[in-house]
Structure 1
Amino acid sequence: MSTYVLETAPGPVFTDPAKPRTLRKYLDWDPKGGDANGTIIDTEKTATVAAGSKLFSSGRGVIYEITSGGVLKSYKDETASGGSLLTPVKTYGTGWNSFQRTWASGGRIFGQAAGGEIAVYAQSDSAAGGGTITLLASKIASTSAAAVAIGVSDDVWMAGSVIYTLRSGEITAWPYSERTAGLPPNQIVHPGVGAGTVIGSGLNDAVLAWSPGPGTIHTSTGSNDYTGIIRGYVGTSSLTLANAEVKAGLYGDVFADTATCLADMAEGQPYFGTRPDDGGAPVVAAPSEDDQDPAPEGSRFFKGRFTLGDGKPASGLQVAVEATDVGADDGSTAELPLLGTATTGADGSWSIPLPAQLPQEVQLAADANGGAVNAVASAMGVTSNGVAVNGVDHVSAAPNTAPTAVRKLVGSAASDDVGRAAKLFPLISDDSPSAPEPSDAEYAKSWAYEQERATVDLTDGKPIPEWQNATGPLPVNYDPYIVNGVDTKGLAVTPYDGGCDRTKKVVQSKKIYYTAVAEGHAYWDSKASVDYDSKLASIVDVAVKTGSNWSVQGTSSLGSSMGISTGYTNRGPYFAKQWKVPIEYKKIKETWKCGGNNTFTRYVVAPGGYKVPSGGATGTYGKDVRSKDGYAGWRNSPQANRAYVSAGSYFQISKNKSHKMAGAVSAFGVSLSASTQYDKEHRQRITAGTNNNERHYIWGRNGSVSGKPGVFYSY
């Protein structure tokens, strides 16, 4: 059953009436069952709707538009036969914008005026939407219970001969009838509405509702942002929840191509048009869990590369590498232990080995982190016009004695960093005390907060922005290299005269945030499982403040033992969710002196260990990522990445690392990314059903599913 969404990208444009909007067509795959075994699928068919227009449908693919000038127009959805979504049919008269509410069903169009009275019109050609529209002689009085309820409702719609209203979480059904007894066929009939019956209550998060047909109702929790969750209900006299999350992230005004009756859901994999050849996708079977990659060589080295602001190598600068996972969290100041120094080469690169004998406090921190040592590499210099610059990179290393899984984790962090460089940024001396911790209300204004609040993945595989503001929107035209009106990014940099002392740190704040570490996908007739067992095995970004804004400057490897198991098992069909675990994050103030008396300050947001809050969850569901699955995703995927799972079998990833999930967490108003090392305890699995004994297609995001896919999607 067709479902239409008149959408506008969330944000300020919602309040801008001058911006056109997009009408998008979806298909409700299991309307009769309230999508207990289905979902609402994007057909990728769209149309542009003029600013200020209102849309509603009457069934059979007929869609009406009331323009900003009050003109009524009818259209036909011809996408099923290769035509356009809004194929023009007929233009009617003006004055339709006098109605505060309009809706339709079959051959009847309803309009409620501001005073509450409801006019009813007859459409002589309801199948095509191009007939004569005639006002019925009798209107529904404004004083009737139905008119009053409709006037104050959150939403109104119709299915068959029943008008429905949604008001403060309560759905009421109002039977509609027309009196025709004794009237000649050529006379207009007279409408009437019976007493309303409450068929659903307690739906307190519902702001929109619609019906694909009699006996089924869908509600949405949001209409003007990305948080909207669609729920499916069935029943006529009393609603029963069929699916608590049919789909997430639909935003805008939703209306359905309501049918007079509903059929059972179609069997087989849904697709639109002609399904292309699968390209000879090979069958895949789950690899043996003993078939593991060897631990990477070189994981005991800290290494990186520094550049100037314009991307040219920052050569000849001393790099100091200091351990970061040390010190108390009680507000006391700790000095970071020095692990070694190096000088950047001609290409800006540097490398130092992990000391064979670690300082005691560093060794204790590494033991608690599964053997991984996290550190900060700093390079200090001065431009040709005397501006101090500093480069920061957060890196990890692990000794050869560390468990293989931890060495793989550190090695995968290093492989993520291939080609990445840390830039030098201008520094300004700062001896003032730090600013007060921003309030939750201030953090709620940040871009990171909006990403966290959304029920769907807004990044769509894109990296997070280079700069973020923890208490506001993304900075525009931010350039940290302009100092006293001079652009310093391309100026020559030499070592800072007199050198710098050891970095001191104090933990200003710490807080637990649930962080996405894995995800599973299961489309038609399949089940998804995610295992995140026994130990923490993730790589998470570290953010550093430069001026008034934050940027990601390296990562931390989290390999501590959890001693628990978490994840989800056999969820589906039409299911894809990220899995989140609680990780404690710290906001840290770091200070150091250079040249004898110049004090410099930087602020850092860094991940710590796995920590379950008192009374909190050991793990929880994250964002809905079903948009990555389905026919369109498979059709657009590289053929080399495709494979299929035979009916009744399963496939899983249990080696290499996951893809980097942008926006995996929002900590202290800063959005950070994360990835996970796959192994015996960290897996993504799909189990194929046996419906029609059909193949279940999967494809890797980054490559072949038998190579290094990062994550696999499902169709």
Structure 2
Amino acid sequence: MNHRSYVRGSRHLHSAACAVALAVGTLTVPEVISPATAVAADCVDSTNVYALETEPGTARKDLSPRTLRKYVDFDPQGGGANGPLLRTEYTATVPYGTKVVSLGGGQFYLFSKTGVRLYRDATAEGGSLLTFVAEYNTDPAVWMGYEKIFAVSGRLWTIDKNGLLKGFMDGRVLLGKRTFNPAPGMPSETDPLVKEIRDAWDVWSAGGRVYTLTSGTVKEYAPTGLFGSGPLTSKVRATGLVDAVQAWGPGRGTVYTVTRPTDHSGIVRGYTGDDALASSNPDVMSGLYVEEVLSETPNCLAPASDGKPVVGAPVDDSDVPPAPVEPETDAGAEGPQVVSGVFTLGDGEPAAGMGVLIEAVDPTAQAAGGSPLPALGTAVTAADGSWSFTLPDELPGPVDAMAAENGGALNVTATAAGTTSAGVPMIGVDYNTAAPAGQGGDSRISAFGVAAGGERHTTQLIPAAVPGAAFRVPTAGQEASTYAAQEAASSVGPERPSPVWQADNGILGDNHNPYLVEGVDVRSDRVMPYASGTCYTLKSFVASQIAYTVVAEGHAHWDTYATVDYDSKLSTAVDVAVSAGGNWKGSGSVSLGSSTGQATGFTSQGPYFGRELQVPIQYNKYKHTYYCGGIAKSSYQSISAARYSIPPGGPVAKLGRDVRWKDGASKFNASPKANRAYIIPGGYFQLAKGKSSKFAGAVSAFGVSLGATTTYDREHKQRITAGKRTNARHDIWGQKDRLSGNPGLFFSF
């Protein structure tokens, strides 16, 4: 196969620049990678880019650990128009406090209070991203006092707090340490243009020139006179880049910018031009959460290759079969009329002998005064905490109507409640879905697909609020500071599930203990069920809001195009969050199958495309009071999805976060071989059966992050179409199963 792999050596790599704040920490050593494609004697078609990343949601960005990560630019000459900027797994975990400068050729100066050292990128040989080379005999306090340090043609330029420019270069080795010597041929230290460079938002160099970004303007500075010792000249290369906060350049004709890292968008835009810069790619990648970018600048850049870009270990796809026409039928389960689960104590031990109340749920109800949930029956937990309930063939008319309005799916709650020996009310609520027999064959099959599909939830009992307790109402500012809000603001889909517990008024600490009641931990306390009379739940509407929710993903890497259809009706199950006083915890899901009256999605997006599809869904917050024997025993709140609802003036759907990081060579190498297949040039593959994998952080509703799952059918599909190139194969793979089974999602390489 014709694959492109990135630059591994340093013989063509020269000065690149910018001081950043970090310090050396633990190093991660990934796999060895293959060599780059040689294009011309002194030209390369891919370059290395190093980014100091910050983690979204970090409370103290000035004190939190950083990650220095290696990226590869597969189209530095074209500004990302013909090739991707791909993230590697080569990283160094680093704290704050040290200035780092890229000298080029994979070499870095690190300036800290304890000394000045030189490191190099040794990942090409299987070593560390920051491998120690030498220490310098110099006063580190002097270097820490410089406001700007950057490299230009192998020399270090420094600007102090008074705006004076000085130049340095490597000297001799003395007593095992290197020295710095003054660099000859520098511009005047008092050159008036030096102040502009000192005050710039970002500074970098390429081809012996210095570049700055300030308030949306890119300027180029060039030394004049013999050996560059004359005054600096400047010219404007671009204006109006209003959302750019940082920039770098792999060569004189290319500039990349990064947008708004404070809200975690991190969108990289490309610009090219010998004089005035013009947009080459407004969406090279998303999610570059950076404090600084340090780019290699080779002597010469070549046009992008048309091979598949490879980052990481060499790819062997010789035994990959052709893609099937479509997945097989869904895997079997207990049956769509059966709901089941497991209740446990807070410590995970079974909650045996607990009565379980099964009630029907209308997720669209908005009765402010409260109304009892329709009771369907009861069950009792076994010794292992498990329970099961089969819906009767005939349901009350209002309950049957709920299912009919929801595409054949009936949402139910299973509630187990009681008190500890100390009188602490405990409750467990599991939201589940079934398909009543009266809905007919097609509706039941569709509803069953949306439902849990026979999966048994495990639900922990949690401390409940006493009846009549006042629940907190977070302010808009508090909701904006939550994990959910920061996840929603990210431009990249999450790599891990949301936390088990979340606050709607901030971010919970790692030591959060929801079972601490008045200083006593009740997670292991025995819970005694209520024994008096009939039990029921009174549900009261509190508030609603509309939030765009992830319902699908489309992926298209090299020479492929993605299409996603989400038409006519909802086909998604969304997590429900429950709060028994303060913080929130996921507790099952509600399935939505009502008609939307809209056809939406995206068509033929790519190549190097991977995005979520989000649709507007209304979310309701409710207060619930649990009664037994006519006496209110406990209360809790819930947040659940209700219906498709377009906000006034809003889109019917929109592209969500960037999920291109799930595609590419390294992810293909890590995938199970049984899940792989390829598409012939001009061919396609689509998922139109089964359930998607769960989308973590699919929505932020009332300050809480919820996940979601979509069922594929004739109106809800993920599709990929291959281009006509024949110099490499179009490989795809299923996330959780083979492509002819129930893969959930499929990805692209």
For the criterion TM > 0.5, the same-fold answer is: yes
* Alpha-carbon offset, residue 123 of structure 1: 6.0
Q: Is the 8 A contact 2:115 2:135 kept in 1?
A: no
Pair 138,520 (structure 1): closer, same or farther in 2 beyond 3 Å: closer
* Alpha-carbon offset, residue 294 of structure 1: 8.8
Distance 2:59 2:600 in 1: 39
Corresponding residue for residue 159 of structure 1:
206
Q: Is the 8 A contact 1:109 1:123 kept in 2?
A: no
The root-mean-square deviation of aligned C-alpha atoms, in Å, is 2.8
* Alpha-carbon offset, residue 404 of structure 1: 5.5
1:22 equivalent in alignment to 2:67: yes
Q: Is there any run of 5+ residues in structure 1 with no aligned partner, and where?
A: 181-188
* Alpha-carbon offset, residue 170 of structure 1: 1.5
* Alpha-carbon offset, residue 470 of structure 1: 0.8
Matches within 5 A, 1:657-668: 657-668=691-702
Pair 164,560 (structure 1): closer, same or farther in 2 beyond 3 Å: same
Question: Secondary structure of the equivalent of 1:394?
Answer: strand
Matches within 5 A, 1:126-525: 133-136=181-184, 139-142=187-190, 144=192, 146-180=193-227, 190-194=229-233, 196-223=234-261, 226-252=264-290, 253-272=292-311, 275-278=314-317, 280-287=319-326, 292-293=329-330, 298-325=335-362, 328-329=365-366, 331-402=368-439, 406-408=443-445, 410-412=447-449, 415=452, 418-435=455-472, 437-458=473-494, 460=495, 462-483=496-517, 486-525=520-559
* Alpha-carbon offset, residue 316 of structure 1: 3.2
* Alpha-carbon offset, residue 662 of structure 1: 1.4
* Alpha-carbon offset, residue 327 of structure 1: 7.4
* Alpha-carbon offset, residue 532 of structure 1: 1.1
Pair 565,327 (structure 1): closer, same or farther in 2 beyond 3 Å: closer
Q: Counterpart amino acid of 2:121?
A: D
1:52 equivalent in alignment to 2:97: yes
Corresponding residue for residue 642 of structure 2:
608
Q: Counterpart amino acid of 2:671?
A: S
* Alpha-carbon offset, residue 602 of structure 1: 1.0
Distance 2:432 2:336 in 1: 11
Pair 487,223 (structure 1): closer, same or farther in 2 beyond 3 Å: closer
Corresponding residue for residue 183 of structure 1:
none
User: CA deviation digits over 1:393-414, x for unaligned, max 9?
Assistant: 1111112343666534543465
* Alpha-carbon offset, residue 48 of structure 1: 5.2
* Alpha-carbon offset, residue 521 of structure 1: 1.3
Q: Is the 8 A contact 2:188 2:229 kept in 1?
A: no
Question: Secondary structure of the equivalent of 2:300?
Answer: coil
Pair 328,695 (structure 1): closer, same or farther in 2 beyond 3 Å: closer
Question: Secondary structure of the equivalent of 2:743?
Answer: coil
1:105 equivalent in alignment to 2:142: no
Question: Secondary structure of the equivalent of 1:298?
Answer: coil
Normalised to the residue count of structure 2, the TM-score between the two structures is 0.86
Distance 2:203 2:587 in 1: 51
Distance 2:135 2:94 in 1: 15
* Alpha-carbon offset, residue 215 of structure 1: 1.0
Matches within 5 A, 1:491-640: 491-640=525-674
Question: Secondary structure of the equivalent of 1:713?
Answer: strand
* Alpha-carbon offset, residue 465 of structure 1: 1.9
Distance 1:84 1:380 in 2: 54
* Alpha-carbon offset, residue 372 of structure 1: 1.4
Identical positions, percent: 42
Distance 2:113 2:210 in 1: 26
Question: Secondary structure of the equivalent of 1:103?
Answer: strand
Pair 141,585 (structure 1): closer, same or farther in 2 beyond 3 Å: same
Q: Is the 8 A contact 2:357 2:535 kept in 1?
A: no
Q: Counterpart amino acid of 1:2?
A: N
Which range moves more in the overlay, 560-569 or 105-114? 105-114
Pair 197,639 (structure 1): closer, same or farther in 2 beyond 3 Å: same
* Alpha-carbon offset, residue 427 of structure 1: 3.0
Pair 381,500 (structure 1): closer, same or farther in 2 beyond 3 Å: farther
Question: Secondary structure of the equivalent of 1:421?
Answer: strand
* Alpha-carbon offset, residue 65 of structure 1: 2.6
Q: Is the 8 A contact 1:295 1:404 kept in 2?
A: no
Q: Counterpart amino acid of 2:321?
A: P
User: CA deviation digits over 1:195-250, x for unaligned, max 9?
Assistant: x3222222222111000111110001145674311111111322211112211122
Distance 1:319 1:49 in 2: 51
Q: Counterpart amino acid of 2:246?
A: L
Distance 1:259 1:50 in 2: 29
Q: Counterpart amino acid of 2:305?
A: A
Distance 2:126 2:435 in 1: 58
User: CA deviation digits over 1:264-292, x for unaligned, max 9?
Assistant: 1122112246614336221114328xx65
Q: Is the 8 A contact 1:496 1:594 kept in 2?
A: yes
User: CA deviation digits over 1:159-217, x for unaligned, max 9?
Assistant: 2133211111121222333425xxxxxxxx614211x3222222222111000111110
Q: Is the 8 A contact 1:163 1:175 kept in 2?
A: yes
Distance 1:177 1:478 in 2: 61
Pair 304,45 (structure 1): closer, same or farther in 2 beyond 3 Å: closer
Which range moves more in the overlay, 38-47 or 213-222? 38-47
User: CA deviation digits over 1:604-623, x for unaligned, max 9?
Assistant: 10100111111101111112
Q: Is the 8 A contact 2:363 2:642 kept in 1?
A: no
* Alpha-carbon offset, residue 87 of structure 1: 4.3
Corresponding residue for residue 85 of structure 1:
129
Q: Is the 8 A contact 2:333 2:454 kept in 1?
A: no
Distance 2:404 2:366 in 1: 18
* Alpha-carbon offset, residue 664 of structure 1: 0.7
Distance 2:508 2:306 in 1: 46
* Alpha-carbon offset, residue 503 of structure 1: 1.9
Pair 78,177 (structure 1): closer, same or farther in 2 beyond 3 Å: farther
Which range moves more in the overlay, 332-341 or 516-525? 332-341
* Alpha-carbon offset, residue 483 of structure 1: 4.1
Q: Counterpart amino acid of 1:134?
A: P
Normalised to the residue count of structure 1, the TM-score between the two structures is 0.90
Distance 1:22 1:255 in 2: 13
Which range moves more in the overlay, 689-698 or 279-288? 279-288
Question: Secondary structure of the equivalent of 1:315?
Answer: coil
Question: Secondary structure of the equivalent of 1:270?
Answer: strand
Distance 1:544 1:625 in 2: 29
Question: Secondary structure of the equivalent of 1:583?
Answer: strand
Q: Is the 8 A contact 2:330 2:742 kept in 1?
A: no
Corresponding residue for residue 7 of structure 1:
53
Q: Counterpart amino acid of 1:77?
A: D
* Alpha-carbon offset, residue 703 of structure 1: 1.7
Pair 386,501 (structure 1): closer, same or farther in 2 beyond 3 Å: same
User: CA deviation digits over 1:470-505, x for unaligned, max 9?
Assistant: 111125433344445554433444431313543222
Q: Is the 8 A contact 2:419 2:426 kept in 1?
A: yes
